[in-house]
Structure 1
Amino acid sequence: MTTTTTTTEADRALKAAHRATWALGDYPSVAIDLIAELGPVLVATAGVRAGETVLDVAAGAGNVAVPAALTGARVTASDLTPELFVAGRAFADRHGATVEFEEGDAEDLPYADGSFDRVLSCVGVMFAPHHRRAADELVRVCRPGGTVGVLNWAVDGFVGEMFRAMKPYVPAPPPGVQPAALWGDVEYVRSLLGDRVTDVGVTRASVLIDRFATPQAWLDHWKTVYGPTVAAYRGIADDPDRVAALDRALLAVAGRFDRGTGSTVLEWEYVVVTACVRE
């Protein structure tokens, strides 16, 4: 099922913009500290075992790759933004994990068909601009009988609502670019994988973010660490009214999802989908 991707100048510019966005702020602090539990959840749900070959797609700083490696698997972490690998290698070293970090585009992975036993992505591949291409690549590089597993933010959960709140304040995407939040819809993911997979499993759960005293404290932090939010605010920095409006919109989302009584506890729902590639 080898695929050929034709890269245009527009596509190269789009990927360069994506790479720059995720290099902003401090995404490793989000992946490794704030949502650290998600990597082990995906590794366990996908059934990673010692001796297997695992590819972590759109791996960021390796919050799936490192726990996968700690099972004894042989792990490659691939990401479009290699600036994140400095933190990823340090993260792996702290845990005594061996991970190969390699630059790669989720829509055009530099691996042969059927190269890996498990192909995983944790809130990563969902941000690739062309969903069909990315899904095709996940399946292509997984061996027949192997497992594809993705953990995505729920379409109607906190992060999905956050991106909807940001939408009026960022430039419209180029034609053909699809919203990341769609990956949080199980039926949509099923449609992307299609009849190339079987034994589809679905798990829904939430990660609780409880380290911020107030929604404002969360927003102040988020505006400095999360690349897409950093980029959104940079784009409207010369318009104080729009900055204030975006502040209000994001605080409203945080308020709706705050489950705390004395301090802020934000519930961020996610969906895990695993599937076996047909033999």
Structure 2
Amino acid sequence: MSLTDSAPVPTELLDTIRTKHGALWALGDYPAVADEVIPTLGAVLVEACDVGRGDRVLDVAAGSGNAAIPAALAGAEVVASDFAPQLLQAGRERAARRGAVLRFEFADAHDLPFDDGAFDVVMSCVGVMFAPFHQLAAGELARVTRPGGTIGTIAWTPEGFIGEMFATMKPYAPPPPPGAQPPPRWGDELHVRALLGDRVSDLHAEVRGLVVDRFSSGAEFRDFFKATYGPTIATYRFLGDDAARVAELDQALAALADRHLRPDGTMTWDYLLVHATRA
């Protein structure tokens, strides 16, 4: 494992998290979320990172290739890394359908199996935000980026819809690992600046909104995420047979989405787009 300025995380804990989180993201059907709800988000990050032909690109916590595949189609030499084998396989299949050539490799964002400075662009689209130890993951993003290269991330903001969704689920969810930080903090500019610190220069951050038109009601949103989205599925499984708590969460998630739905059937999900130069 590389050295970063974060407190050491026991290897046993990282091994446990790797196993549990890999299983979590294999629940349901995350590729359906990527394809039906946020299909344009990866291309936004690729454009912001100015990915071009011949660039060596690493997509960290790539899922099923939402950003990695557009990068490959732009002519880059791409490695898509994730620690959920099911998502990697889904990505390979999606890439084949779209005619994109890239490598999908098993890797943990906390301990990337790549050399220092191996990539021109290192990016993550709503992916690395779910690595529980933020400083460790940020150190790895910087380590594998060459000096003068680009680091780019997209993360849901704490104040936006998905940040609110995680806050709504928190009282019902299993406790996080000791020392873990909440995923939406990667959507806080000050937090990201502190994570990357003097490893980067020329850091630009912008809150943008993704227009989502997949759901006609809060109940439809809730039921879709209960069936497809790993963190939501895991929260409901943690509640088990507690019918009263399940009903409470059902109502809370549907009400949240209903508050955000506009009369035309759209919602806006805020995210933070960051790109910076490796110092």
Fold match, TM over 0.5?
yes
| Aligned partners of 1:170 and 1:232 also within 8 Å | yes
Aligned to 1:135: 138
* Partner Cα distance (1:211, 1:188) in 2: 31
Which of 19, 23, 26 is residue 20 of structure 1 equivalent to? Answer: 23
1:194-273 equivalence runs, <5 A: 194-258=197-261, 260-262=262-264, 264-273=265-274
1:63-82 equivalence runs, <5 A: 63-82=66-85
Distance of aligned partners of 1:98 and 1:7 in 2 relative to their CA distance in 1, 3 Å threshold: farther
* Offset at residue 13 of structure 1 (A): 1.4
* Partner Cα distance (1:211, 1:33) in 2: 7
| Aligned partners of 2:2 and 2:111 also within 8 Å | no
1:1-279 equivalence runs, <5 A: 2-3=2-3, 7-258=10-261, 260-262=262-264, 264-278=265-279
* Partner Cα distance (1:95, 1:19) in 2: 25
| Aligned partners of 2:150 and 2:275 also within 8 Å | yes
Q: TM-score, normalised by structure 2?
A: 0.95
What secondary structure does 1:12 align onto?
helix
Distance of aligned partners of 1:6 and 1:267 in 2 relative to their CA distance in 1, 3 Å threshold: closer
Q: Give structure 1 regions of 4+ aligned residues with deviation exceeding 4 angstroms.
A: 4-7
| Aligned partners of 2:95 and 2:101 also within 8 Å | yes
Structure 1 residues without counterparts, runs of 5 or longer: none
AA paired with 1:110?
P
* Partner Cα distance (2:2, 2:27) in 1: 33
* Partner Cα distance (1:138, 1:209) in 2: 29
| Aligned partners of 1:32 and 1:61 also within 8 Å | no
* Partner Cα distance (1:161, 1:83) in 2: 28
* Partner Cα distance (1:86, 1:33) in 2: 18
* Partner Cα distance (1:62, 1:253) in 2: 28
| Aligned partners of 1:2 and 1:113 also within 8 Å | no
| Aligned partners of 2:81 and 2:106 also within 8 Å | yes
* Partner Cα distance (1:134, 1:168) in 2: 26
* Offset at residue 255 of structure 1 (A): 2.1
AA paired with 1:61?
S
* Offset at residue 155 of structure 1 (A): 1.4
* Partner Cα distance (1:239, 1:107) in 2: 35
What secondary structure does 1:126 align onto?
helix
| Aligned partners of 1:60 and 1:85 also within 8 Å | yes
* Partner Cα distance (1:56, 1:100) in 2: 10
**What's the RMSD between the two structures over aligned residues?**
1.5
Query: How many residue pairs were aligned?
Result: 276
Per-residue displacement from partner, 1:211-256 (whole Å, max 9, x unpaired)? 2221111111110000000111111130110001011211222122
What secondary structure does 1:120 align onto?
strand
| Aligned partners of 2:119 and 2:146 also within 8 Å | yes
Q: TM-score, normalised by structure 1?
A: 0.95
* Partner Cα distance (1:165, 1:231) in 2: 14
* Offset at residue 10 of structure 1 (A): 2.8
Q: Percent identity?
A: 52
| Aligned partners of 2:217 and 2:258 also within 8 Å | no
Deviates more, 1:71-80 or 1:8-17: 8-17
AA paired with 1:31?
A
Per-residue displacement from partner, 1:186-224 (whole Å, max 9, x unpaired)? 110000000111111122211122122211111111100
* Offset at residue 66 of structure 1 (A): 0.3
What secondary structure does 1:274 align onto?
strand
